[in-house]
């Protein structure tokens, strides 16, 4: 389940946000990807700063809704397949969008992606965390292990 928000004037007409306070309902990257596909969609590909801002606004509205939303990152459709050059300087270029789009837009948090065994990407949403080197952990991207539950 999730909150569906539709726009008539944006490239993608509808977005669906799924946030679960119940940790047992959170899922790994592939499960999230499959759930989106079953719903007729795809994990989010962010193609511009404007779309990033739109999603940030939607998440802020979700927070304001009084739903008691707390820390919990959101999967997006960016991932790195294979381990080929995972520790090399080329690693950031190995990330691709799950829906096949080719947008070069990225919004990495400072010092990300860290690569290695972290190959799937989340959008940070940790409003209660103390800020790090890149500021608050809100809306920037972080590579994480694909089996983590978000």
User: pLDDT for 49-107, tens place per residue?
Assistant: 999 999 998 888 776 666 666 788 999 999 997 655 455 678 888 999 999 999 999 99
- Cα–Cα distance between 94 and 96 in angstroms, integer? 6
Q: Where would I find the H helices in the chain?
A: 29-38, 49-64
Question: What is the Rg, in whole angstroms, of the alpha carbon atoms belonging to the chain?
Answer: 15
- Cα–Cα distance between 37 and 93 in angstroms, integer? 25
- Cα–Cα distance between 97 and 65 in angstroms, integer? 30
pLDDT reading at 8 higher than 90: no
pLDDT at position 43 is 94
Q: Counting runs of H as helices and runs of E as strands, what totals does the chain give?
A: 2, 6
pTM of the model: 0.88
74 - beta bridge partners? 123
- Model confidence over 25-54: pLDDT tens digits? 899 999 999 999 998 889 999 999 999 999
Domains of the chain (ranges, CATH numbers): 2-144 (3.10.100.10)
The alpha carbon of residue 46 and the mean position of all alpha carbons in its chain are separated, in whole angstroms, by 9
């Amino acid at each position: 389940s999730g909150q569906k928000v539709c726009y008539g004037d944006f490239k993608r007409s509808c977005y669906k946000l799924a946030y679960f306070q119940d940790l047992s309902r959170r899922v790994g990257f592939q499960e999230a990807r499959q759930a989106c596909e079953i719903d007729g969609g795809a994990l989010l590909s962010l193609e511009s700063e404007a779309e990033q801002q739109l999603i940030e606004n939607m998440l802020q509205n979700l927070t304001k809704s009084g739903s008691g939303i707390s820390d919990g990152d959101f999967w997006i459709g960016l991932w790195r397949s294979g381990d080929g050059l995972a520790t090399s300087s080329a690693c950031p270029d190995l990330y691709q969008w799950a829906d096949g789009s080719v947008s070069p837009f990225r919004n990495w948090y400072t010092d990300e992606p860290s690569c290695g065994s972290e190959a799937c990407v989340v959008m940070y949403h940790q409003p209660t965390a103390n800020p790090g080197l890149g500021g608050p952990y809100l809306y920037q991207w972080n590579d994480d292990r694909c089996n983590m539950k978000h």
